[in-house]
Amino acid sequence: MAEDLLAELALLPRISRPAAWGLALWLGVAFAPAGLAQSARDFGGYPGYAGPRYQGYTTKALYVSAQDGTRLAIDVHLPKGLPEDTRIPTVMQMTRYWRAVSLRWPASLFDRDEFVNFFTSNGYAVVQMDVRGTGASFGSWPISYTPQEAHDAGRDVVQWIVEQPWSNGRVGAQGISYRGNAAASLPIANHPAVKAVVPRFIEFDEYVDLPFPGGIVNSGFISLWNQSNWALDTNDTRKVIALKGEGLIAKLMLRGVKPVDADRDGSLLRAAIAEHADNGHLLALAHSVTYRDDVPEGFDITVDTISLHTYREATERSGAAYYLWGSWLDAGTANAVLRHFFTYGNPQRAVIGAWSHGARADADPFRPVDAPLWPSKGDQMLDCLRFLDHYLKDVDNGVMSEKLLHYYTAGEGRWKTTAVWPPEGTTMRRYYLAADYGLSEAPPSESEGSDEYAVDWSATSGTTNRWYTQLDGSDVVYDRRAEQIPKLLSYRSEPLARDTEITGHAVANLLVSSTHADGAFYVYLDAEAPDGRIVYLTDGQLRALHRKVSPERPPYRIWEPYHSFERADGAPLVPGEVTELSFGLQPTSALVPKGWRLRVSIAGHDADNFARIPAEGDPVITVERNLVYASYLEIPVVERGGV
């Protein structure tokens, strides 16, 4: 949801560099920072790729009116030197993080957008847009991804584009996070010009994929995201800079959001910002929602109204092609890819890697923290270009010969391809919680056996995890797992007899009782090296109130127990009564070496990330592990040859 608010705010690479870089700009030293002038020429090629045709681009900033008259700010970038009789396709980017910034001289002399430069050099128009109620656009932004927002872009702005003399009548979109979700929403309006989109690192279900995983408020992320949004929506550059940790150079260079060209005195921008006063306060809004079907006060929508999965019929009717990107280590983006890919009938291609948010850093937990990004940013851009070239330029490059998912297995360092999920050869292997904090493939044989756990409110997965990377695209590093283990209820297996590939959705099945009527249950799956080093693999969580497994058909394809998270299915715990909690962990693909152990840990809180449940009191949880009440984790294991 929240893109890298350094890069996506256009504060990187333009101003968020070392002080020497900024000082050089301020002094007017004539050089362009590495990366700003990159084009496909630097990235190699692919079959049918003709190479970049243009150098440089021109930009016009203007307002386009939505159907209801709301003025939407856009930047239109065209290849410099485009012949008047040449018609080209358009790539759109819609954002709530400022489509562009205004920089003071001389920094403005070096203001070039790498994304824009790449696509215009390859014969595309690029249209960047401040969504309604943000940036220089008028209106209000009550919450993300409203149907109105989708129609502003997919109907009104697309129609304006195809009426321009440089347009070939074909439109696509590409973006990361918020821009990615906006790209995925573009076909919903069913404008015939929209042919292909590249949504990267998105949510498919706006309840479980990021704001409420397992029905628990992701308060750490939402609080920081809300602060950033308000700084942007009020054009408070000092607060934006402070939130990003920038210094004096940034303060000297950054003016704020870019106005349109005709707004020479800034009056239109001030009027637009005044209308942003009605924008939503997301943290308070999140805490007012418990169930998926709750309608917050002052709203007439639910979380499903702003979720992509709600618009399956319109999406499929559009016929638009999708190229989806996600990561095993980035919030719920891998789940978003899998659910979209295996639910919708549109032409689709998908990739899931082991990256930070936006694939800005390698996050394979078995590789060194500073391991190089693979594939590189340039190779990623070229791959997206290949997809869009096929649909917007009719380039026969074989990109869509089959509907395939490409995924990376951490620890093995291999990319693989599948048309089914889980991949062929996968079986579910049970590991039971056992005496002496063991993890056994043999079921319990004793009629009694349980472990008590007093919730440790200091337990945390840290602030460099799968949830925090959503804020800034920073690396995902679970480097303090060993010191957290004493704060958790933790079980480990015997050393593995062979290399073990875990690919798919693990499922926790816990038989528990609690002293309280509600609680949060977190389950972590880690790998433990012979030297005691602990490597994070995945985790999942469930608020006990949402424990009912629904017999209804899910709205999209899933591979774990289905919880509706609807009010009708809410069920408080009965203190002291044994209850079954069955829920999925985030999907993963990782190879755990022979001789390592698996470790399953249970917690009742994640201090740096999620809301405390219950808000008061100190629950004591009893986890059963006996013949009558057997708790276990089912792990998807891909059978491999050899020992």
- State the pairing for strand pair 620-624/450-454: antiparallel
* Residue 473 backbone class (left: φ over 0; alpha: ψ -120 to 50; beta: rest): left
Query: How many other β-carbons are positioned within 10 Å of the β-carbon of residue 52?
Result: 19
Closest to 126 in 3D by CA, of 396, 385, 377, 376 = 385
Catalytic-residue membership of 265: no
* 330 in active site: yes
Q: Does the bond joining 18 to the residue before it have cis omega, within 30 degrees of 0?
A: no
3-class SS string, 356-411: CHHHCCECCCCCCCCCCCCCCHHHHHHHHHHHHHHHHCCCCCCCCCCCCEEEEEEC
Point out the catalytic residue in the list 77, 340, 357, 516.
357
Q: Report in angstroms the alpha-carbon separations of 21 from 25, 34, 248, 308, 360.
A: 6, 11, 13, 41, 21
Q: What crossing angle do the helices spanning 377-392 and 114-121 adopt, rounded to 10°?
A: 40
Query: Which of 513, 466, 547, 476 minimizes the C-alpha distance to 214?
Result: 547
The catalytic residue among 121, 167, 177, 474 is 177
Q: Which of 330, 526, 539, 606 is the catalytic position?
A: 330
Write out the H or E segment, with its range, that includes residue 253.
helix 248-253
Please indicate whether residue 219 is annotated as part of the active site.
Answer: no
Q: What is the rounded distance in angstroms from the CA atom of residue 100 to the CA atom of residue 59? A: 11
DSSP 355: B
Cβ proximity of 585 and 508 under 8 Å: yes
Contacts 24+ apart (CB under 8 A), 34-42: 35/114, 36/110, 36/112, 36/114, 36/117, 37/112, 37/117, 38/114, 38/117, 38/118, 38/378, 39/117, 39/118, 39/121, 39/122, 40/118, 40/121, 40/122, 40/381, 40/382, 40/385, 41/121, 42/378
- 211-243 burial: b if 16+ Cβ within 10 Å, else e: bbbbbbbbbbbbebbbbbbbbbbbbebeebbeb
Is 407:426 a contact under the CB 8 Å cutoff? no
Is 352 within 8 Å of 504 (Cβ atoms)?
Answer: no
Q: Cβ–Cβ contacts within 10 Å for residue 494, how many?
A: 11
What's the token pair of residue 389? 């070239």
Please list the active-site residues: 177, 330, 357
